[in-house]
Amino acid sequence: MDIQTLAAEIPDADQTVIEEIDFISNGKQFLMFNLGKELYAVDILCVEEIRSWEEPTKIPNAPSYVKGVINIRGLIVPIIDFRLKFDVCAAEYIDSTVVMVLTIETDEATKTMGFVVDAVSDVIDVQDDDIRADAGFVGSIPQENVQGLVNVNERVVTLLNVPALQHVDV
Amino acid sequence: MSVDLSQFIPSFLEESFEGLELMESSLLNLEQGDDETINSIFRAAHSIKGGAGTFGFEHVTEFTHLVETLLDEMRDGRREIQPNDVELLLVSVDCMRMMIEAIRDEGDYEQSKIDDTYKLLEIALNQNNDTSTPTESPDDSKDKQSSNATWIIEFIPEHHLVQTGNDPILLFNALADLGEVTANANCKELPAITDIDPEELYLSWELTLKSSWATEQDIKEVFEWVEDECQLIIRQDSKLAQDGEVKQEVEQQREEVSTVATSFEENKTPSIDVNEADKEPASAKSSKAKSEGGSIRVGVDKVDSLINLVGELVITQSMLSELGNDFNISKLERLTSGLEQLLQNTKELQESVMRIRMLPISFAFNRFPRLIHDLSKKTGKDIELVLKGEQTELDKTVMEQISDPLVHLVRNAVDHGIEPSDVRVANGKPKKGTIILDAYHQGGSIVIEIRDDGGGINREAVYRKAVEKGIIDESTTLSDSQVFELIFEPGFSTAKEISDISGRGVGMDVVKRNIQALGGRIQVESEPNVGSTFRVNLPLTLAILDGQLVRVGNETYIIPLITIVESLQVKPELINRVSGDMVLYRLREDNVPVIPIFKLFSLSAEHESVENSLLVVVEAEGLKVGLMVDDLLAQQQVVIKSLKDNYHDVDGISGATILGDGSVAMILDVPGIIQMAIGRKMQIGVRQMMSSIEGVEA
């Protein structure tokens, strides 16, 4: 198939119907994922890609939650298991296990890291006002990694603070 | 139209540094009547001045202008080239460098040094030509206010003006923007029609400018680009009377200057010393700044060959994709040959890309003539520097990092190596000492030699010192080369007095560490009364390495080929177990400690006992150890990727690479592994000690 036929199949810009995309004025979109029975979410703009689990190359003497490194288009990317790191639930590696590749941008550096999660579920719109502080919330996840909590239907979702994940590998 | 000039500042800085280097090296080679060299120095100064003016770095422009004026006098033969002037120019180059570095780092510079040198330059200029007005005075502000004045401008261009792309008409048009211009051409110099060279300009002009607001500065700006190719006299009609006043002021200034100059002469030596002492941290900082960004100047031929290769790659690619369109088994042969071609293309492409990063080592060598010049003045030793193999190419990063260690080695050669002239003569050697810097390729690495024909290393002194410092035991017997190795120990210095050139006792160990950090090694050879040779062995590039792939359990590791001495199948009868946990393997005369990688990296391996495994004998930091592996796989070149980008450094691992199948393999850091193994032994020792203490207590 040559490029002309491909191009012909692409609809013109003004013909494209914009639907199913919610424009939100005062908030962000978050990608929701499961760790065991709990729900978490990260800022969708930080998500580079989602890959299926593959056995990474081990890093000698690394902590148990650092599963190793993989090659993503020439980048050496460490894989960290959220479930083990945050001590949320047992870590199984099955067909539905996925790796969420995040770009973590801070003033110091930009890092790309992969995080093992049980499943990626949904994209949610979160207004800034809906985020509740996690006052009094003491779980196994360090406070600086939590941005806040948000209610989605009957469930409570923990929003993770992506820049704070920068030093999650130590 | 406004152009954002700031985007050009980095290239201005780069060009300026190149210019300064050129000025420095040319000044050192300057001889009387050597017009070509003076011209090139002058050109370098001139373009720095021009650039600085464009970007509004007034202080650089002003300073460089003086330097340029001095050079101009030399160029025109109005001034003899004297050692003093050359010395002054060298100091000026330092000042210019300091100012430009300050611009680059957005930092400060020593204003006092600049001022002192500035004044010395003015004095030098005035001495030569008392009648000449001392260059445009720094503040033209007194010219700024003007009424409806008439300016008379005599513009006498040199004959070759039009050849440099300048056109008087354009200048006059620009002048007309300032006010009303009348021009009178002077055809006196016009030769007979038969003698006219159509590309030469024989005219000169007298221009009259009537303007209510133009200042002398404005007029000068018009002629800025041609001011070195013409005689330009600007005067204001009504102000002729003021000339006398100016002259008087000049006389006064000159007196002030000479008093300052004498005080500067006294301070001269100490102030330079301070500078020398500060030099090292400063240059370390600059090299760091460089490695973060920076650009490379690449020869067009290198880029062309790259383009050719990409062309070939595209052809191969289209051939292969055509083949893939309707592939059947009969075309297998064409596919194989196509893939082979692809392999060839990629390989060549890789090599060409690597070549882009390669620079001739002369970039690092260029600073040494100046260094030797300064050092031989300071020490009073007569030293000649010989540079060899300057065209040997080396990776840019390696070059930047090797520069400082080399400086240290050369300083050492001057200070400790070369003897004072009287000692040399007494020993029947030529009065002039020689230091040779030699670079050449050997296998996949580059060798840099620093040879001196000095007294050689005093074996006895080194040995005694090492005993004194507690580095070795008195009873130890050492071979010559082992003794010479001692000079790389931390805290070792045999200089009787600490001089400011070397001998702080930090140095050789740092040199060695820096070289090792680059994956290289350093050796020393020395013979009494004949001289010493320091040989630095470096990998050509930091980006690619030749590796031996090995398997430990399910993991593949890469051992840098440069560290491997040999690989062997373990013979059980040669294994010795000593002092508890340690396993030694008898390798001919040596006993080599065995390091089980699987244990060190907490893995499980196929062969967990030494008896059945393979040993890869590696050498680092003068130590030989055997690494226990399960299998030897292929040897191949691997591209080194940093783990630190997205993770952090890992003990025993120097980086990672991507293998042919897309998987990641770790590259072993051999010196690091040895350190780990030693540390581990110590931990085990401590643990055993602890448990024995507990046992006693129980």
The more confident residue out of B680 and B12 is: B12
Instruction: Examine the pLDDT at B504 and tell me if it is beyond 70.
Output: no
Identify the pLDDT of residue A52: 92
Identify the pLDDT of residue B134: 42
Identify the pLDDT of residue A90: 83
For the question of residue B46 being annotated catalytic, the response is yes
Q: What count of CB pairs under 8 Å joins A to B? A: 65
Q: How far apart are the CA of B680 and the nearest CA of chain A, in angstroms?
A: 13
Residue A57 sits in a domain whose CATH number is 2.40.50.180
Measured between beta carbons, the chain A residues lying within 8 angstroms of B645 are 75-76, 111
Mean pLDDT of B143-161: 70
Identify the pLDDT of residue B270: 40
The more confident residue out of B379 and A3 is: B379
Distances (CA, A) of B615 to B52, B565, B569: 62, 11, 6
> Cα(B691)–Cα(A146) distance, rounded to whole angstroms?
43
For the question of residue B68 being annotated catalytic, the response is yes
Instruction: Examine the pLDDT at B493 and tell me if it is beyond 70.
Output: no
Q: Which structural domain range is residue A99 located in? A: 29-167
Comparing CA positions, the residue from B439, B501, B451 lying closest to residue B280 is B501
Domain count within chain A: 1
Give the lowest-confidence range in A31-40, B4-13, B95-104. B4-13
Within B116-167, strands assigned E span 149-157
- Give the model confidence (pLDDT) of B370-416 as tens digits: 888 888 888 888 888 899 888 888 888 888 888 888 888 888 888 88
Residue A41 maps to a domain:
yes
Q: How far apart are the CA of B671 and the nearest CA of chain A, in angstroms?
A: 16
Q: pLDDT category, B146, cuts 50, 70, 90?
A: very low
Comparing CA positions, the residue from B219, B210, B207 lying closest to residue B136 is B219
Identify the pLDDT of residue B686: 47
> Cα(A101)–Cα(A51) distance, rounded to whole angstroms?
8
> Cα(B10)–Cα(B97) distance, rounded to whole angstroms?
15
Instruction: Examine the pLDDT at B502 and tell me if it is beyond 50.
Output: no
Mean pLDDT of A30-51: 91
The more confident residue out of A88 and B579 is: A88
Residue A109 maps to a domain:
yes
Identify the pLDDT of residue B263: 44
Identify the pLDDT of residue B617: 93
Percent of chain B with pLDDT over 70: 81
Q: Is B20 helix (H, G, I), strand (E, B) or coil?
A: helix
> Cα(B532)–Cα(B431) distance, rounded to whole angstroms?
17
Q: Which CATH number fits domain B360-539: 3.30.457.10, 3.30.565.10, 3.20.20.70, 2.40.30.10?
A: 3.30.565.10
Asked if B662 lies within 8 A of A71 by C-beta distance, the reply is yes
Mean pLDDT of B21-41: 79
Q: pLDDT category, B284, cuts 50, 70, 90?
A: very low
DSSP secondary structure string for all residues of A59-116: PTT--TTEEEEEEETTEEEEEEEHHHHTT-S-----TT-EEEEEEEE-SS-EEEEEEE
Q: pLDDT category, A1, cuts 50, 70, 90?
A: low
Give the lowest-confidence range in A53-57, A93-97, B79-83, B614-618. B79-83
Residue B640 corresponds to which tokens in the numbers above? 């080194």
The more confident residue out of B137 and B655 is: B655
Q: Where are the domains of chain B?
A: 5-135, 141-247, 300-356, 360-539, 544-690
Give the lowest-confidence range in B130-134, B190-194, B551-555. B130-134
Identify the pLDDT of residue A15: 53
Asked if A24 reaches chain B (Cβ–Cβ under 8 Å), the answer is no
Measured between beta carbons, the chain A residues lying within 8 angstroms of B653 are 59-60
Comparing CA positions, the residue from A118, A108, A99, A124 lying closest to residue A163 is A108
- Is B544-690 a domain of CATH 3.90.950.20? no
Comparing CA positions, the residue from B518, B535, B266 lying closest to residue B398 is B518
Classify strands B433-442 and B180-186 as parallel, antiparallel or unpaired.
unpaired
Give the lowest-confidence range in B318-327, B441-450, B544-553. B441-450
DSSP secondary structure string for all residues of B55-71: HT-HHHHHHHHHHHHHH
Instruction: Examine the pLDDT at A29 and tell me if it is beyond 50.
Output: yes
> Cα(B376)–Cα(B370) distance, rounded to whole angstroms?
10
HSE-CB for A36 with a 13 A CA cutoff: 11
Count Cβ neighbours within 10 Å for each residue of B99-131 and write b for 16 or more, e otherwise.
Answer: bbbbbbeeeebbeebbebbbbbbbbbbbeeeee
Contact predicate A167/B646, CB 8 Å = no
Percent of chain B with pLDDT over 90: 6
Residue A104 maps to a domain:
yes
Residue B62 corresponds to which tokens in the numbers above? 């002003």
Q: How far apart are the CA of B280 and the nearest CA of chain A, in angstroms?
A: 27
Residue B187 corresponds to which tokens in the numbers above? 């055809």
Taking each helix axis from N to C end, the angle separating B9-28 and B35-55, rounded to the nearest 10 degrees, works out to 160
Contact predicate B519/B539, CB 8 Å = yes
Residue A17 maps to a domain:
no
Distances (CA, A) of B511 to B78, B276, B366, B570: 47, 18, 20, 37
Give the lowest-confidence range in A14-23, B15-24, B118-127, B663-672. A14-23
Instruction: Examine the pLDDT at B575 and tell me if it is beyond 90.
Output: no
Give the lowest-confidence range in B127-131, B272-276, B343-347, B555-559. B272-276
Q: Which residues contact B187 (CB under 8 A, 6 or more apart)?
A: B202, B203
Instruction: Examine the pLDDT at B428 and tell me if it is beyond 70.
Output: yes
- Give the model confidence (pLDDT) of B607-636 as tens digits: 777 787 899 999 876 788 999 999 999 888
Q: Which residues contact B72 (CB under 8 A, 6 or more apart)?
A: B42, B228
Identify the pLDDT of residue A155: 87
The more confident residue out of A41 and B237 is: A41
Asked if B647 lies within 8 A of A76 by C-beta distance, the reply is yes
Which residues of chain B are at the A interface, by a Cβ-Cβ cutoff of 8 Å? 555, 600-603, 641-643, 645-648, 650-653, 656, 658, 662-666
Classify strands B149-157 and B204-211 as parallel, antiparallel or unpaired.
antiparallel
Q: pLDDT category, B142, cuts 50, 70, 90?
A: very low
Q: How far apart are the CA of B444 and the nearest CA of chain A, in angstroms?
A: 25
Catalytic residue among B24, B46, B229, B373: B46
- Is B5-135 a domain of CATH 3.40.1410.10? no
Asked if B666 lies within 8 A of A170 by C-beta distance, the reply is no
Instruction: Examine the pLDDT at B278 and tell me if it is beyond 50.
Output: no
Mean pLDDT of B283-301: 57
Identify the pLDDT of residue B56: 81
Asked if A113 reaches chain B (Cβ–Cβ under 8 Å), the answer is yes
Identify the pLDDT of residue B115: 85
Instruction: Examine the pLDDT at B136 and tell me if it is beyond 80.
Output: no
Nearest-by-CA chain B residue for A114: B646
Identity of the residue in B602, B662, B664 whose CB atom sits nearest the CB atom of A60: B602
Identify the pLDDT of residue A4: 67
Q: pLDDT category, B283, cuts 50, 70, 90?
A: very low
> Cα(B474)–Cα(B460) distance, rounded to whole angstroms?
12
Residue A63 maps to a domain:
yes
Identify the pLDDT of residue A53: 92
Instruction: Examine the pLDDT at B358 and tell me if it is beyond 90.
Output: no
Classify strands B590-596 and B582-587 as parallel, antiparallel or unpaired.
antiparallel
Residue type, B448: I
Task: Locate all alpha helices (DSSP H) within B518-556, ordered by sequence.
Answer: none
For the question of residue B251 being annotated catalytic, the response is no
Q: Scanning the structure block, which residue is given the tokens 């006498």? A: B156
- Give the model confidence (pLDDT) of B185-230 as tens digits: 888 777 877 778 777 888 888 888 877 777 777 777 777 777 777 7
Please give the CATH number for the structural domain made up of B141-247: 3.30.70.260
Asked if A136 reaches chain B (Cβ–Cβ under 8 Å), the answer is no
What is residue B32's DSSP assignment? T
Asked if A61 lies within 8 A of B666 by C-beta distance, the reply is no
Catalytic residue among B68, B101, B393, B400: B68
Taking chain A, what is the end-to-end CA distance rounded to the nearest angstrom? Answer: 49
Torsions phi, psi for B306 (to 5 deg): -65, -45
Instruction: Examine the pLDDT at B31 and tell me if it is beyond 70.
Output: no
Residue B347 corresponds to which tokens in the numbers above? 């390989």
Please check whether the two domains, B360-539 and B544-690, share a CATH topology.
no
Arithmetic mean of pLDDT over chain A: 82
Arithmetic mean of pLDDT over chain B: 77
Catalytic residue among B166, B345, B412, B514: B412
Q: Which residues contact B643 (CB under 8 A, 6 or more apart)?
A: A59, A69, A76, B649, B650, B653, B655, B656
Q: In Å, how far from its chain's centre is CA B554?
A: 44
Identify the pLDDT of residue B276: 39
Identify the pLDDT of residue A32: 93
Comparing CA positions, the residue from B438, B370, B364 lying closest to residue B401 is B364
- Give the model confidence (pLDDT) of A82-131 as tens digits: 888 888 888 888 888 999 999 998 877 788 999 999 999 889 888 888 88
